[in-house]
């Protein structure tokens, strides 16, 4: 019988983001600090863009101090084309953009109204904040990724895009597949990271009922998603594109 050669797999190397710039749009909220810390811990340079300028700035300072990597925190409305253009000019001084994580979650006044009384203005503001901003970030980053022949885009979605009727999220997923099929041959990968609910601020009854219908028996904590994010951003995920990676404790598996 022929001998079977043992393949060389270097786990540290394939998850390493050494020196790579990753922009996290909407990165100063609940999940952003965990995602940015995962990038920094993998050796990458996180850039946090958020309406909350002081929050983004203090987070980036803390990340640099803790992980010894360059980091940047920029306060801006990511849906504002001119502001975004100058923000990316600043980012490029740090280095070429390797990764883009679209995770802006716009909640304009009236966001939580029921559908029957939903105002068109609130709807449009939510779409502009969450989706148009993603388009603008893509426009800023795709050309350089294609020119270089590498890049990773992560569009963060929600389980309510796959088990609920939230058409905005379906559009998000279609956008991911469109980028994946159009730019794959130029070395750019695009994936959707679909997340389950994170515990924080809900009533005890809600947490109990949500946990009860989740196979893993609990809501997520923000750190639950960092491994999946690194998989999508790093060499470890080099053959992953156009995928919807559902990380939800089994919520959508029933
Ligand atoms: N938290 C959850 O339970 C959960 C569950 C599933 C999916 N997600 C998804 O994860 C992503 C992040 O969610 P989160 O819980 O961290 O949200 P969050 O509301 O805590 O943070 C979102 C951030 O986006 C920023 N933002 C909003 N509009 C902006 C704009 N125009 N320009 C710049 N920044 C803007 C806010 O200031 C905020 O810091 C979102 O895509 C969300 O849909 C969250």
Q: What is the mean pLDDT of residues 88-110?
A: 97
> What gap in Å lies between CA 136 and CA 139, rounded to an integer?
5
Q: Where does the pLDDT of residue 76 fall: very low under 50, low under 70, confident under 90, or very high at 90 and above?
A: very high
Those residues with Cβ within 8 angstroms of residue 237's Cβ, 6 or more apart along the chain or in another chain = 152, 189, 191, 231
Measure 54 CA to ligand 1 centroid, in angstroms: 16
Q: What does CATH list as the number for 15-253?
A: 3.40.50.720
Q: Where does the pLDDT of residue 166 fall: very low under 50, low under 70, confident under 90, or very high at 90 and above?
A: very low
Q: Where does the pLDDT of residue 5 fall: very low under 50, low under 70, confident under 90, or very high at 90 and above?
A: very high
Question: Over the chain, what is the mean pLDDT?
Answer: 93
The 8-class DSSP code of residue 198 comes to: B
- The pLDDT assigned to 117 comes to 86
Nearest atom, ligand 1, residue 80 CA: 31
Q: What is the mean pLDDT of residues 229-252?
A: 96
- The pLDDT assigned to 174 comes to 76
The dihedral sign for the CA sequence 206, 209, 213, 218: positive
Of 70, 24, 26, 87, nearest in space to 52 by CA? 26
Q: What is the pLDDT of residues 46-70, one digit of tens each?
A: 999 999 999 999 999 999 999 999 9
> What gap in Å lies between CA 174 and CA 235, rounded to an integer?
24
Asked if the model's pLDDT at residue 74 lies above 80, the reply is yes
Name residues contacting ligand 1 (CB within 6 A).
26, 28-32, 50-52, 77-79, 103-106, 129, 133, 156, 158, 195, 197-198
- The pLDDT assigned to 175 comes to 84
- The pLDDT assigned to 163 comes to 63
Residue nearest to atom 11 of ligand 1 (CA): 103
Asked if the model's pLDDT at residue 168 lies above 70, the reply is no
Instruction: Decide which of 206 and 165 is more confident.
Output: 206
Q: What is the mean pLDDT of residues 216-234?
A: 97
Residue nearest to atom 30 of ligand 1 (CA): 77
Instruction: Decide which of 163 and 27 is more confident.
Output: 27
What number of helices (H) and strands (E) belong to the chain? 9, 7
């Amino acid at each position: 019988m022929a001998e079977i050669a043992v393949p060389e797999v270097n786990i540290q190397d394939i998850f390493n983001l050494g020196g790579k710039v990753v922009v996290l749009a909407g990165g100063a909220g609940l999940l952003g600090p965990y995602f940015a810390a995962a990038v920094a811990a993998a050796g990458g340079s996180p850039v946090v863009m958020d309406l909350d300028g002081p929050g983004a700035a203090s987070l980036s300072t803390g990340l640099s101090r803790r992980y010894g990597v360059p980091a940047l925190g920029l306060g801006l409305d990511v849906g504002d084309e001119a502001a975004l253009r100058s923000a990316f000019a600043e980012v490029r001084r740090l280095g070429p953009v390797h990764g883009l994580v679209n995770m802006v979650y716009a909640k304009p006044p009236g966001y939580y109204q029921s559908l029957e009384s939903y105002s068109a203005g609130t709807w449009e503001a939510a779409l502009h904040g969450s989706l148009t901003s993603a388009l603008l970030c893509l426009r800023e980053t795709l050309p350089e990724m294609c020119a270089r022949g590498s890049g990773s885009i992560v569009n963060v979605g929600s389980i309510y895009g796959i088990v609920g009727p939230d058409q905005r999220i379906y559009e998000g997923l279609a956008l991911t597949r469109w980028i994946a099929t159009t730019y794959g041959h130029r070395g750019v990968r695009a994936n959707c990271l679909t997340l389950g609910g994170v515990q924080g601020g809900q009533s005890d009854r809600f947490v109990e009922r949500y946990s009860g219908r989740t196979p893993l028996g609990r809501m997520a904590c923000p750190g639950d998603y960092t491994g999946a994010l690194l998989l999508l951003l790093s060499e470890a995920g080099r053959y992953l594109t156009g995928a919807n990676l559902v990380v939800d404790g089994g919520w959508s598996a029933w």
